[in-house]
Amino acid sequence: MYEIEFTSEAIEDLKLFRKSEQQTIISGIDTQLKYEPTVETRNRFPMRPNDVAEWELRIGKYRVFYNVETLVKIVSIEAVGLKIGDRLFVRG
């Protein structure tokens, strides 16, 4: 089982959402990333090289960007955003 950690930036991202949205996002993170965060699925996949994160998780219209430390079994949530159409909003 992997430990889930949030960066301070990701916590700030979550604060911008309503409480019900926060619960949906956190529940999705727990369900999808606690046991096999590096197994590719329809909603969980590696990203092209970038400065934010190595992996993306889709939870409905929300996007969670994360990195995985496999040796110490830690998933680090780097950013949380909202996808509307073809636009992604992170931190506003």
Per residue in 38-66, pLDDT tens? 999 999 999 999 999 999 999 999 999 99
pLDDT at 91 over 90: no
Which pTM was predicted?
0.94
Dihedral through CA 51, CA 56, CA 60, CA 61, nearest 10? 10
Residues 47/65, Cβ–Cβ less than 8 Å: yes
Helices 19-33 and 8-15 meet at what angle, rounded to 10?
Answer: 140
Number of domains within the chain: 1
CATH number at residue 75: 3.30.2310.20
Domain that holds residue 16: 3-90
